[in-house]
Structure 1
């Protein structure tokens, strides 16, 4: 997944700059590791429990696109079968198919909007060795 498609930004606690987080920085946040700001080179970490919960909720969106594709294919096949058996008309099959595709695009758009977030990164706490 490229950085541009993730849309996760971070605001540095030291220099107050907003930076587009790279994949390795997102991985560091995921494993609760400190990383340095690309501008001021000071250590940063995500410590806010609400933001951590929202960040972790992105995992549930990962399988959404595949699930939606399966749903659309199933609806298309069932509508085609019902039309072939004479249970529904061609127009009803078209309406079912268009509705399934519409639900797919709306859901994917919602998921992409939900992925865009700005995390407030705080100064990292020193680790005791």
Structure 2
């Protein structure tokens, strides 16, 4: 049906890139905080202008309620806060969910953020076998 759907109705207005490479002094969550704040600044906005956050969970440090943890780290309480984890299509799903949330009136301006640090937090066992992920030891 012509004219239906979300295509062409919403725009990306800011973007950012986290530190890349081996970044052992920042967890994946801290990198996500970095890109969230930098994208807001790039858009010429402040936290007060943004009422939604959708994050893609990090592979190196997967946690439940990732978006809420990022918002809490910042000291921010967006009215719409969602963590997406749908495998290889996560970033596309997150963008679609942001547009749908705006369409439904759940938020007006949403940051979609994803950051990971596989090069910093993946280590191979001494026998060359298993790979250990994460920023904390078991």
TM over 0.5: no
Higher relative contact order (CA 8 A, sep 6+): 1
Task: Report the TM-score when normalising by structure 2.
Answer: 0.25
